[in-house]
Amino acid sequence: MSIPKRNSKHEIEKHGVEPEFKDINPGLFSMKLNLMYITDHVQIEHKKIALLAAKQEEHQIVHAAIDLMLTLLDNPLQNRRRIAQNIEKLEQNIKTNPKHLNTLADLAVLYRTINAEDKAVALYETTNAILISNDPNDIKEKAVCVLEQGYAVLCDELSQNEFEAQHKLADSLQRMQLEKNISVGKKHDLLCQASKHTIIAQQMVYRSLNFLGNLLKDDKSYAVYRARAYACIGHRLVTRKEVKQGDLKRSALSKDERFQVLMNDPLSAFDYANAEHPRDEIVLNRKGKSLLFVCKFRTDITENQKLKYLTEADIALSLSLSLNPRMDRLNFSVRMNVYFEMSILKNISNVSRYDFLQKALEDGKAAILVNLKGNDVCKVAEICQRLAKFPKFFLCGPKAVTNKEYLHIALDYLNQYICAKGETYTQAFAIGTINFDMGKFRTALEWHKRAFLLSDYKRAIGNVIKLCLCILRLEETKSVYVEFINALTFIASKLQDLEFIYTLVPKSMWNEYLGKLLRFLDCLKTCPLTTKQVEIAEYLRNVLSKRTLISVRQSRKYQYTPSTRNIEYEWRALSFPHPVIEPASDHLDFDYDYFAIMSHENSGWIECFLQQQLSTHMLYNDRTFTACPDVINYESCSTLLETTIIGINKSQKAILVLSNDFLTKEWNVMKSIITEMLQRRQGSLLVILLENCDVPPEIDSEHLLYFDFTDDKKIPMEIQNLKLALLSV
């Protein structure tokens, strides 16, 4: 719905400046506020208390908007049992003001949800009539509509979901721009339209300022809204990449001198805000965040300017905390980052640096105590690592650690978060680096493997160095070297190139690890290698040669040929002895927790990733499980059957790893063993789907437990589920 351009001189004279009310879209449902997506009951109750308190404190003009925000918290579009009571509440509000645009629009949405189409259409018609009207009362309703939406944005951005929502918005915008660049035709047009709508949504706040600027200057009850609008605009101009000069030239604000000042110096918005309404907690919070953003992302300011801005941010956030305790979580989190940025300035003493880190840690603990957020937890972990290695926090490894207690504090918070909300790349990577600093290289390696599985391409590159350093710090054995080549093979398959080998270790450490890398290449000469593994070994050899770490003559020593093993099991032509799977009742206790059954092609991945993950103590109260060390002999049908039967009989459970290669080659030989195991040892078979493949009818049963390893990012969670299954008897 849009408003045709008005040229009424009477209206312009009456209001001073013609309000810009184009592209008004009434209603809060259409704004997709964070409030609609809060699922944590504790957060919902806290937000309701805050909104009800605001209704007591704020001006009456925004009371209706607060009622609508309370409706959003109930999320009636998904929670249908609350639709009736929310419809009744909005109908009562309409009786009070039949022309309230935001209530009309939201009530129409609820009517459509219950298929009351006639009622919804009637409300849409009423709304449209107000939108195209030039009646002074209707113009006032339109102004109130924009004001309420601006107020809702202000409140919503201060919700506990802000950082997560902004991160997801930035990520989706980036993906949308990428898709737009490579798309054609109708898809390209739709993505262009989506980008425009994003910018229009951001400009809603500017329309709010245009209206607020024309409110009576001597009416102090409106000063807080003018101040917060200034602060919101300043914050957006500092932090939002999608707000561009070109997009604002078509706005009526392009000729406004005051707004041009804000465009040239966004931080001046906070001077205007302070002049309108000093010591407002929301304005102070936005000022602190904006100053922090400037220091982190602007490259044209000096160290002294950074210190000045960060000091101002500290003062603003501390004052905001003293004025409104309800905002403590958000302010503690932002102030923690302010102190952290102060600690990495070059022109301060080590005494001041240590003091800032201590202050950052205290604020981080306070933020986590109120609300457990992933970004806060990872930042606290980073602060603890710096304190543990202070003043040599730029080094890695146990030699740099002077106070290990801080590392235990970091692990406590990271474990707490993962147990409560699951793991992501950032948490897995952080735990890996902390264990590396503690000298627990095996545990660190397994966490970096998880981080790699959870990573995208950009993050995967950075994680590879950490992963390889962990392997190179382990004891030099053939099994570790085999694990190393299997890890490199998986990394190469995910990244789809071998360029990462150039950055296998940090630039300054190639000489330090040269001996181990050469012994690794030497060991590979005695190992059966796939074609891809030969390519990796030769690539690493060439990298060492190009870095002049070895001569051309030395490099000729390391020659590799792929294994020619390609056994086809002629199972139809052979007569196999009937497999003998011992029932569980024959064993008082098994020697091992599990035995893995997989194809020869996948055995390297299983040994490198799955078995090491199951045998490593990853989290507090975590259990470890021992695999049967007897490996499957794939040389012939008889050895394949014999070694598999021995492994199953020694182990409490069997893990069957399904892949297309296994179903093509080994399944026909293994089928009789697996079916007998299902008959004689019920509940002892666990199935991993390593690839998307057709499950054989013999094991396609709802009574079996399946674990989906087809999506890398799901594997860490599925491994934890697998551990739970191995616990059951």
Q: Which helix (H) or strand (E) holds 469?
A: helix 457-472
Structure tokens at 657: 């790893």
In the prediction, which pLDDT does 177 show? 57
> Please, are residues 310 and 344 in contact by the beta-carbon 8 Å criterion?
no
Taking the C-alpha atoms of residue 92 and residue 97, their distance in angstroms, rounded to an integer, is 9
Taking the C-alpha atoms of residue 357 and residue 585, their distance in angstroms, rounded to an integer, is 59
pLDDT in tens, 427-441: 999 999 999 999 999
For residues 419-434, one letter each, b for 16 or more C-beta atoms within 10 angstroms of the residue's C-beta and e for the rest, the string is eeeebbbbbbbbbbbb
Range in 146-155, 188-197, 480-489, 490-499 with the lowest mean pLDDT: 188-197
**Bridge partner residues of 656 (DSSP):** 597, 687
Mean of the per-residue pLDDT values of the chain: 81
pLDDT in tens, 583-618: 877 666 889 999 999 998 888 888 888 999 999 988
Taking the C-alpha atoms of residue 695 and residue 704, their distance in angstroms, rounded to an integer, is 12
Structure tokens at 532: 């891809």
Confidence of residue 573 (pLDDT cuts 50, 70, 90): very low
Looking at residue 397, the DSSP 8-state letter turns out to be: S
In the prediction, which pLDDT does 570 show? 57
Range in 319-333, 343-357, 621-635, 644-658 with the lowest mean pLDDT: 319-333
pLDDT in tens, 377-423: 999 999 999 999 999 988 889 999 999 999 999 999 999 999 888 88
Q: DSSP assignment of 634-667, as one string?
A: -SSHHHHHHHHHHHHHHEEEEEEEE-HHHHHTTH
Say which residue, 100 or 576, is predicted with more confidence. Answer: 100
Range in 16-20, 286-290, 311-315, 342-346 with the lowest mean pLDDT: 16-20
Average pLDDT over residues 357-375: 92
For the CA atoms of 478, 484, 485, 491, the dihedral, rounded to the nearest 10 degrees, stands at 170
Q: Among 418, 432, 334, 441, which residue's Cα sits nearest to residue 379?
A: 334
Residue 121 clears pLDDT 80, i.e. is over it: yes
pLDDT in tens, 225-254: 788 888 888 888 887 654 455 555 555 666
Taking the C-alpha atoms of residue 551 and residue 251, their distance in angstroms, rounded to an integer, is 66
Range in 81-85, 478-482, 565-569, 632-636 with the lowest mean pLDDT: 565-569
> Please, are residues 191 and 180 in contact by the beta-carbon 8 Å criterion?
yes
The gap from C-alpha 75 to its chain's centroid, in whole angstroms, comes to 24
Structure tokens at 2: 């849009």
Residue 3 clears pLDDT 70, i.e. is over it: no
Taking the C-alpha atoms of residue 201 and residue 193, their distance in angstroms, rounded to an integer, is 12
pLDDT in tens, 292-349: 999 988 888 999 999 999 999 999 999 988 887 665 667 899 999 999 999 999 989 9
In the prediction, which pLDDT does 157 show? 55
The gap from C-alpha 475 to its chain's centroid, in whole angstroms, comes to 34
